[in-house]
Amino acid sequence: MPFMVAFIWAYILWLVLTAGTKGLGWNVQELVAGLIFAIIVGYATRDVVGERANRYLNPLKWLEFIPYAFVVFWGMIKANLDVAYRVITGRIRPGIVRVPVDLENDAQYTILSNSITLTPGTLTIDACPDEKALYVHWINIPKGQEEPKNSKPVSGPFEDWARRLGK
Amino acid sequence: MNGIDYLVYTFLGISVTFNMLGSIALHRFPDVYTRLHGATKSTTFGTIFAVFAVMAHAFYRLHVTGDPKYLQMSLHSLVALVALLLTNPTGAHAIAKAAYLTGYKPKKAVVDSYESRIAGHVKAEPEEGEVKP
């Protein structure tokens, strides 16, 4: 099954990159060449992908990423207005805080760390699944938040999103 | 000039503005971590809008001419956008962690919880010119 996951995603990427070779569709050479290369890629990476990747074959899983994309985009807009304000005024109160989180697997840590980096004023420095915590560089720590008890003040709703998407 | 051109120029304007802010951030902020904020967030956001501008232009031209090369143009820039969104936070994370492990402490920091975690693992070298207490 790890072979199938890598194969399907490699083939979809090939199809996206070669669309428009015959009219708006694909000509036969591209389809066959894509098949060959996707098989090679799938075979070569079957040990890297791992068994747990099977959950990403479920199309419903990918529908969940659509509202997430909008939430992240809104977060990015706020993040950029925030950074723009700090660039212009120079008003910063930086520091590295330890954020306790309650997540189970690596995919959830990856999603949460990347969301935190893309959204307001925070940058993940290290994820430590062994002590269930993230270390986050925060550009403007509000007074009294030097040691946050959960991820709410740092990442807003993203811990719940990460838990749901990485299941 | 027609409607779609105004849209494309608006996207390009937003893109250039935020990329410029990211560059200014590199000069204004005091240390590597705060600079990374400007370098990653602002440039990612700016580049997203550059891709939106390309896609708006390409889809409009596709609609007018029906030439498949415009379909390729928009799809390829979409793939570039996805790659950028996946790699940019990861790269920032790697740079920040590497900087910390090399011994660069955050300047003006009000709190540094990472220090106690790292203390047991790595012995940080004092920076050049720094006087040991």
Residue B118: which pLDDT band, with cuts at 50, 70 and 90?
low
> What is residue B133's predicted lDDT score, i.e. its pLDDT?
46
Cβ within 8 Å, pair A16-B113: no
On average, the pLDDT of chain B sits at 80
How big is the CA angle at B86 (ends B83 and B87), to the nearest 5 degrees? 85
ipTM over 0.85: no
> What is residue B132's predicted lDDT score, i.e. its pLDDT?
47
Is residue B130 a part of any domain in this protein?
Answer: no
User: Strands of A133-138's sheet, edge to edge?
Assistant: A95-100, A133-138, A122-128
DSSP-derived 3-state class of residue B108: coil
> What is residue B41's predicted lDDT score, i.e. its pLDDT?
80
Is residue B126 a part of any domain in this protein?
Answer: no
> What is residue B126's predicted lDDT score, i.e. its pLDDT?
47
Distances (CA, A) of B128 to A158, B104, B107: 40, 11, 15
Q: Is the pLDDT assigned to residue B129 strictly greater than 60?
A: no
Q: Is the pLDDT assigned to residue A53 strictly greater than 80?
A: no
pTM for the whole thing?
0.77
Q: What is the pLDDT of residues A24-45, one digit of tens each?
A: 778 888 889 889 999 998 888 8
**Tokens describing residue A130:** 């062994």
Query: If you average pLDDT over residues A50-60, what whole number do you get?
Result: 70
The answer to whether residue B59 neighbours chain A at the CB level (below 8 Å) is no
- Per the structure, how many domains does chain B have? 1
Query: If you average pLDDT over residues A98-115, what whole number do you get?
Result: 79
HSE-CB at B118 with a 13 A cutoff on CA atoms is 23
Cβ within 8 Å, pair B25-A87: yes
> What is residue A36's predicted lDDT score, i.e. its pLDDT?
92
Best A26, A110, A123 residue to mutate vs chain B (most B CBs within 10 Å): A123
* Cross-strand pairs, A99: A134
Burial readout B5-27 (b: 16 or more C-beta within 10 A, e: otherwise):
eeebeebbebbebbbebbbebee
Q: What is the pLDDT of residues A148-159, one digit of tens each?
A: 766 677 667 777
Residue B53: which pLDDT band, with cuts at 50, 70 and 90?
very high
